[in-house]
Amino acid sequence: MFNLQGKVALVTGGSRGLGRADALALARAGADVIITDILVESDTEGAATAEKYGALAQVMKSTGAVYAEQTRDEIRTMGRRSAAYKMDVTDKAQVDAVIARVKEEFGAIHILINNAGTLDHVTQIENQSTELWERDLRVNLTGAFNCSQAVWPIMKEQGWGRIINMASVAGTLGGFGQASYATTKAGLLGLTKTLALEGARYGITCNAIVPGIIATEAYNMSNPKMKERMEARTAFKRPGQPEDIAHAIVFLVSEEAGYITGQGLPVAGGIDLFTF
Q: Judge whether 259 counts as a catalytic residue.
A: no
End-to-end CA distance of the chain: 37
Angle between helices 68-77 and 17-28 (to 10 degrees): 10
CA-CA distance, 256 to 88, in Å (whole number)?
Answer: 32
Plot region of 263 (φ>0 → left; ψ -120 to 50 → alpha; else → beta)? beta
Distance CA 57, CA 261 (A): 32
Residues contacting 163, CB < 8 A, separation 6+: 111, 112, 114, 148, 151, 155, 192, 195, 199, 204, 205, 206, 207
List the catalytic residue out of 181, 202, 219, 259.
Answer: 181
* CA-closest candidate to residue 57, choices 88, 11, 82: 88
As annotated, the active-site residues are 181
